[in-house]
């Protein structure tokens, strides 16, 4: 693009072009559709990530998947789109951005038909940040929750690190969005051109020297590439996600455990407590949390061995890591751990007492996958009858 795109052509300082300049179609449908769909999808992701209940994770993941498809489309459209959609029309460089910023402060930055240099930097920053969020989201999902295409290869520790980065990137994205909106507002005021309306209609004020510089879009080529990549990615994701999660042993059901423990409360998966905790619980069945729960010695021995062989030390899941940290006040009570208490503190006592739930030990009343020991957020469903 000509150097005049910077608003710094080497000539004497210029003023902003007349407010009633000639307009033309600058933003094609691909750019406009991508922009507004991304706005909606990112808004939903930010809401489900920061404000929504945990069981909205499924919406968060599917929205992130949709954003990944949008990013793929934009990358292809940046090569096959029309003139001002192409990355070549707004290549951001530090020099151009700095020169334009100086000209802006000196009130001599000229009108730019497409993205101005500062806007170009913002676009790249937003695309990079959103892409990084997608990547760290997949890492978090795989490592911490043992879900998704990378669950087979990632440890809980790596997933927890990815979650920290993911959260900070989320705050960074909020900051970039604020700066982007502020920049649009300032530029609209400075030039007298409604940039929001321009992104809706596609029409923008344009100089006469730009009228002939039009490159055609290739929508069918873009569609073909995007569809092909998505089909290949879908096949790969399904195949990888089907593999057993890292540190997730094959679920073993012990009939003695299910029958004896499950007769009074939900039979807690062995992965929810350490071997030491299970040993102490089995050793005190004559005073089992205020009740007598003695068993035939042979049955008790089999259950004890089963719990020890499949205890939290053998699992790399989130529940196994956080619930093995017992409470000093109630060291043998899973529902007394700091993590359990923190995650359930907003649930009214009446909900637990309702017949639909049946008590704090009835995990399966609200967690559809409780028996697996994974406790995926998407599987949380508090019965309506239990709602206060």
pLDDT digits (tens, 9 = 90+) for 315-353: 999 999 999 888 889 999 999 999 999 999 999 999 999
Domain residue spans of the chain: 3-241, 255-386
Kindly state the tokens that stand for 69. Answer: 């498809």
CA neighbor of 60 nearest in space, from 170, 181, 175: 170
Reduce the DSSP state of residue 291 to 3 states and report it: strand
- Cα–Cα distance between 306 and 322 in angstroms, integer? 21
Angle between helices 219-241 and 57-80 (to 10 degrees): 140
The pTM of this model reads 0.88
The whole-number pLDDT of residue 385 equals 75
- Cα–Cα distance between 3 and 178 in angstroms, integer? 29
CA neighbor of 110 nearest in space, from 219, 205, 247: 205
The whole-number pLDDT of residue 387 equals 62
Q: What percent of the chain has pLDDT over 70?
A: 92
Looking at 194-334, which runs of residues are DSSP E strands? 203-205
112-127 pLDDT, tens digit per residue, is 788 888 889 999 999 9
Strands 23-25 and 203-205: antiparallel
Residue 9 has pLDDT above 50, yes or no: no
Residue 11 has pLDDT above 80, yes or no: no
304-325 pLDDT, tens digit per residue, is 999 999 999 999 999 999 998 8
CA neighbor of 119 nearest in space, from 204, 201, 22: 204
- Cα–Cα distance between 42 and 163 in angstroms, integer? 17
Give the residue, 136 or 11, on which the prediction is more confident: 136
The class that CATH gives domain 3-241 is mainly alpha
Mean pLDDT of 366-374: 95
The whole-number pLDDT of residue 5 equals 40
- Cα–Cα distance between 218 and 213 in angstroms, integer? 16
CA neighbor of 202 nearest in space, from 23, 26, 31: 26
* Confidence label for 21 from pLDDT (cuts 50, 70 and 90): low
- Cα–Cα distance between 190 and 381 in angstroms, integer? 51
Residue 110 has pLDDT above 50, yes or no: yes
Q: Name the β-bridge partners of 205.
A: 23
Kindly state the tokens that stand for 306. Answer: 């089963």
- Cα–Cα distance between 51 and 56 in angstroms, integer? 10
On whether the CB atoms of residues 299 and 259 are closer than 8 A, the answer is no
Give the residue, 76 or 205, on which the prediction is more confident: 76
188-225 pLDDT, tens digit per residue, is 988 888 999 999 999 888 754 444 456 889 999 999 99
């Amino acid at each position: 693009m000509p150097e005049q795109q910077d608003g710094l052509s080497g000539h004497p300082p210029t003023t902003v072009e007349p407010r009633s300049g000639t307009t033309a179609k600058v933003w094609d449908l691909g750019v406009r559709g991508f922009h507004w769909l991304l706005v909606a999808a990112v808004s939903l992701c930010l809401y489900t990530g920061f404000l929504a209940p945990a069981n909205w994770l499924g919406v968060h993941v599917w929205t992130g998947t949709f954003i990944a498809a949008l990013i793929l489309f934009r990358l292809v459209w940046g090569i096959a789109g029309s003139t001002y959609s192409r990355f070549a029309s707004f290549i951001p460089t530090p020099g151009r951005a700095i020169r334009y910023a100086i000209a802006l402060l000196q009130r001599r930055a000229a009108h730019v038909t497409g993205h101005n240099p500062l806007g170009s930097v913002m676009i790249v920053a937003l695309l990079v940040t959103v892409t990084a969020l997608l990547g760290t989201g997949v890492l978090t999902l795989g490592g911490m929750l043992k879900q998704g295409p990378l669950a087979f290869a990632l440890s809980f520790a790596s997933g927890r690190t990815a979650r920290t980065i993911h959260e900070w990137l989320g705050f960074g994205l909020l900051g970039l969005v604020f700066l982007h909106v502020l920049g649009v507002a300032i530029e609209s005021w400075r030039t007298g051109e409604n940039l929001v309306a321009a992104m809706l209609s596609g029409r923008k004020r344009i100089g006469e020297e730009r009228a002939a510089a039009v490159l055609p879009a290739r929508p069918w080529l873009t569609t073909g590439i995007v569809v092909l990549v998505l089909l290949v990615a879908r096949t790969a994701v399904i195949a990888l996600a089907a593999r057993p999660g890292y540190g997730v042993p094959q679920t073993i059901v012990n009939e003695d455990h299910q029958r004896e423990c499950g007769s009074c409360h939900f039979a807690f998966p062995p992965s929810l407590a350490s071997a030491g905790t299970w040993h102490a619980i089995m050793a005190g069945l004559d005073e089992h949390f205020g009740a007598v729960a003695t068993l035939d010695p042979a049955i008790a021995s089999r259950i004890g061995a089963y719990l020890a062989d499949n205890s939290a030390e053998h699992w790399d899941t989130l529940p196994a890591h956080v619930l093995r940290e017992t409470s000093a006040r109630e060291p043998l009570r899973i529902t007394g751990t700091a993590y359990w208490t923190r995650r359930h503190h907003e649930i009214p006592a009446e909900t637990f007492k309702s017949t639909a739930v049946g008590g704090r030990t009835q995990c399966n009343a609200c967690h559809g996958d409780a028996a697996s020991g994974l406790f995926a957020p998407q599987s949380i469903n508090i019965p309506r009858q239990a709602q206060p």
